[in-house]
Structure 1
C-alpha cells in the first residue's frame, strides 16, 4: 500500500473537481427548472423506449430509495409515465411521455452546450489523457470494491 502522502493530493483533486463540476452543472439544471436527479432521469430515458426501475437505477446516479419519489414527481409533471412491461407483468417500464421527449430535446442539448463551454480550447490529446487517467482510477476503485 502506498503512503497516504502520495495519493492524498490525488484524492483531494478528484473530490474538488467533482464538487466544482457538480456545482456548475446543477446551477444550469436548476435554471432550466429541474433538479439534478430529475435531469438525470430525463437524460437517461431520452432516445430510449424506456426501461425498468432497476435498469434506470443502474444507469443513473440516483439511489433506489430516491428513484421512486423522483419518478413520481416527473409523472406528476407529465414528463414520464409507467406502463406495463410486455413480457413481465410484475414490473413496469418507465418512459418519457411526448411532453417529456419535448423537454429532453430542449434541455439535453442546452446542458451539453453549457458543459462544453468549460472544455473550449482543450485539445483532443488532452481529452484522451484525462480520459485515460480517469479510467485507471475507476479500475483501481473497481478492483478494490470486489
Structure 2
C-alpha cells in the first residue's frame, strides 16, 4: 500500500516532473541545434511582429540578463534581429528574421505533437483537473510571495 502523500513527497515529485519534462522537451529542441530558452524565444515571437525586450522576458520567463545572451546567440544564428523602437529611441524590439520565421513554421506544430505525446493517456477531464491544480499552486505561490516580501 502506498504511503499517503505529504508536502515533502509532493514537492519532490513536482521537482522530478519538472526536470523530466525539461529533459524531454530539450531532447527534441536540441535536434534543431537550439537550447530550450532559444526555442522559447522563437515560439514566443512566432506569428507576431516582434516585441520589446521587457514583454519578451515576461512571456518567456527568461530573466533580463539571460535573455540578452539568448538573443545574441539567436542573432548569431540569423534567427532574430533587434529593431529600434519607433516610439522610444532608447528601446529595441526583437523579431524573427525570415530564417527564424521559417524555423518557427517548420517546427512549432511538430514540437507540440512531441510534447502532446506526454498526455496521450490523459482524458480531457484529467488535463482540465491538472491545469486547475497547477493554476491553484501558481496562485498560492504568488499570494505567499506578496505576503512575505519585505518592505523596501
TM-superposed deviation, 1:73: 1.2
Give the alignment's Cα RMSD to 1 decimal. 1.2
2:150: which partner in 1? none
2:9: which partner in 1? 9
1:123: which partner in 2? 123
TM-score, structure 2 normalization: 0.89
1:80: which partner in 2? 80
Distance in 1 of aligned mates of 2:127 and 2:45: 26
TM-superposed deviation, 1:6: 3.3
2:53: which partner in 1? 53
Distance in 2 of aligned mates of 1:23 and 1:13: 15
- Mean Cα deviation higher: 59-68 or 16-25: 59-68
1:33: which partner in 2? 33
Residues 51-90 of structure 1: CA deviation (Å, up to 9, x unaligned): 1111111111322111111101111111101111111111
- Contact 1:40–1:61 at 8 Å: present in 2 too? no
1:107: which partner in 2? 107
Residues 86-107 of structure 1: CA deviation (Å, up to 9, x unaligned): 1111101100011110010112
1:145: which partner in 2? 145
1:24 partnered with 2:24: yes
Distance in 1 of aligned mates of 2:100 and 2:62: 19
TM-superposed deviation, 1:21: 0.3
Aligned pair count reads: 142
Q: Which runs of 5 or more residues in structure 2 are unaligned?
A: 147-152
Give secondary structure in 2 for the equivalent of 1:145: helix
Q: Which runs of 5 or more residues in structure 1 are unaligned?
A: none
